[in-house]
Amino acid sequence: MIYRFLLKWLIRKCKSKKKKRSKFLALLERNVVANMSLQYRQMTLFAPTNQAFQRYNGEMDDSLVLFHISNLATTLTNLDNSISSELDGNPPLWITRRRDAMHDDIYVNNAKVDISRSYQAVNRNGKLQVLHVIDQVLQPLLPLGPSSVSSPVYNPNAYQFLEHSDVFNIDQHRLRY
């Protein structure tokens, strides 16, 4: 089970303004890998809001939470161009910064990080853990069909994606070239 202090911390930080239980927290509690990471490792969690889950139409399996976790504790100031996720195959989460006179925005893939809702805690083993609240659910690029179960997540470059787009689950979207 999730280490008690961190569970209470996550509950407080992941609650929406209406004080509803976090859907992200429910996914986190069901995932064995995430539970072990919370207890023993440093980590970064990108936690979507409940509103993000309400807009999300993708599959809500237990592994979805692993695409929102990295095994490196990274604060906003230390986020680089990418950070590896804990999903099988360790596909990267891409970090984009938009800085100008009016904005200092940070995005992970397509989700905007709420820079006012970034938190840190230390687990019982003295490992730093960081939580960043984001406005969208992160959706990994997964292969279609039975091969998706037996092979790790494939992280194609742009050319490979265009050449093999038919083997990836890209929902209703299709590519023409």
Q: Show the domains of the chain with their CATH numbers.
A: 4-140 (2.30.180.10), 142-177 (no CATH)
* Nearest residue to 70 via CA among 80, 60, 62: 80
pTM above 0.85, yes or no: no
Structure confidence by residue, pLDDT tens digits, 34-88? 888 888 999 999 999 989 999 998 888 878 999 999 999 999 999 999 999 998 8
Nearby residues of 27 by Cβ (< 8 Å), 6 or more positions away: 60, 62, 64, 65
Quote the pLDDT of residue 15.
52
Torsion angles phi and psi, residue 140, rounded to 5? -70, 155
Torsion angles phi and psi, residue 16, rounded to 5? -80, 175
User: What share of the chain in percent tops pLDDT 70?
Assistant: 69
Bridge pairing between strands 128-134 and 69-70: unpaired
Quote the pLDDT of residue 5.
53
